[in-house]
Amino acid sequence: MLILGVDPGTAVTGYGLVRGEPLGPYALVECGVIRTKAHEPLPARLREIYEGIRAVVTQHGPEAVAVEDVFYARNVRTTVALGHARGVVLLAAEQAGVPIHEYTPASVKKGIAGRGAATKEQVQFMVARLLRLKSAPAPSDAADGVAVALCCLMEGAQRGAARLAFDPGRPHPTAGIRRSGTIVPPPGR
């Protein structure tokens, strides 16, 4: 699978394309940032982000786009601007017909580093380890986009395991286990 991960921002939007199967191995295809000019009006900056993401989607044809959700900053204005950037990323993916997966910053950190409160350095270290790189991708916004893509791929392994464990065609994993003096028969008996 090829996943495009995006860490949206109005000044810098990081992205990363990662190829792999849910259980690995993973390979970095490309990563980078879309920088906008601070002196330009917000609509022009949003257009640049939209066109940049649309170009990456068109060039690489990812099977899914994973986008980091809005974090709640103390500055309401920052949160709203981030929401705008996220919106144009979602629009670019939707118009291209690519499935979209959304992740909170804490779920990305937990998925990659094992803790929802992991530091940026811990996440970058694990991104480098998972991709078998000497160092994390740079700049850090690009590494964040790569982390979101990896999180999406790794979540696929969890979804697959859940489907396998509860496949209606197979006996439930707890079938036949003694509970409070009774035996639960396997389904279909």
In sequence order, what are the beta bridge partners of 28? 18
Using DSSP's 3-state secondary structure scheme, residue 16 falls into: strand
**Element spanning 125, H or E:** helix 120-130
Tokens read off for 94 = 């939707």
Q: How many CB atoms lie within 10 A of CB 88?
A: 22
Tokens read off for 171 = 């006996």
Q: State the catalytic residue, choosing from 63, 141, 144, 167.
A: 141
In sequence order, what are the beta bridge partners of 67? 6, 102
- Catalytic: 69? no
Contact (CB, 8 A) for 24 and 42: no
Q: State the catalytic residue, choosing from 21, 68, 144, 155.
A: 68
CA distances from 142 to 41, 57, 152, 160, 178 (A): 24, 16, 16, 28, 51
Residue keyed to tokens 């590494």: 143
The C-alpha angle 77, 83, 87, rounded to 5 degrees, equals: 150
Catalytic site residues?
Answer: 7, 68, 141
